[in-house]
Amino acid sequence: MAMNRPTAIAVFALPFFAVALPDASAELAKATRIQIRIAKPLSSLTSMTGQPFQGSVAKDVVVGGKTVVAAGTPVQGKIIYVKRSGPQAGGVLRLQLTSVSNQAVSSSEYVQQGKKSPRGSEAVIETDALVTFVVGPPDGARQVPRRQK
């Protein structure tokens, strides 16, 4: 029997920018969304701030009718904040994408929050979960609001 895994998706907007990637001389347009698949599960119970994570681009990124980042392209990121769950609140994980195909980028934050319960609830991002970031040049990041539902 196959089990369905939860899919987490969040999208945020950033200021205007362009990023040159090694894929020909193509550029990502300003505020380009990249949907990635997380390679290994992440949890507010076991993860640490600063810990890297890996994944891959989930679907082709197309700008002006041209594929500028192919599905399957490797991506890296880091966990920028972890809060353990407790009796008053669920755990929290904040992620940021740092590179696409070994090219440094800045990105929006992705926030995963555990549900509040009497015993607390960890924040979990499962293997193969889909997470969407908005990317820009290495110095273009800014803090963004919590994830959208």
> pLDDT (tens digit, 9 = 90+) per residue, 11-62?
333 333 334 444 422 456 567 889 999 999 999 989 999 999 999 999 999 8
DSSP 46: T
Q: Is the model's pLDDT at 63 over the cut of 70?
A: yes
Residue 18 or 86, more confident: 86
User: pLDDT digit string (tens) for 98-145?
Assistant: 999 988 888 899 999 987 766 668 888 888 888 988 887 665 544 443
Domains (ranges, CATH) in the chain?
Answer: 19-136 (2.40.128)
Q: Distance between CA 76 and CA 99 in Å, rounded? A: 5
Contacts of 95 (CB under 8 A, 6+ apart): 42, 53, 77, 78, 79, 80, 109, 110, 111, 112, 125, 131
Mean confidence (pLDDT) of the chain: 76
In this structure, what is the dihedral angle of CA atoms 90, 148, 126, 109, given to the nearest 10 degrees? -90
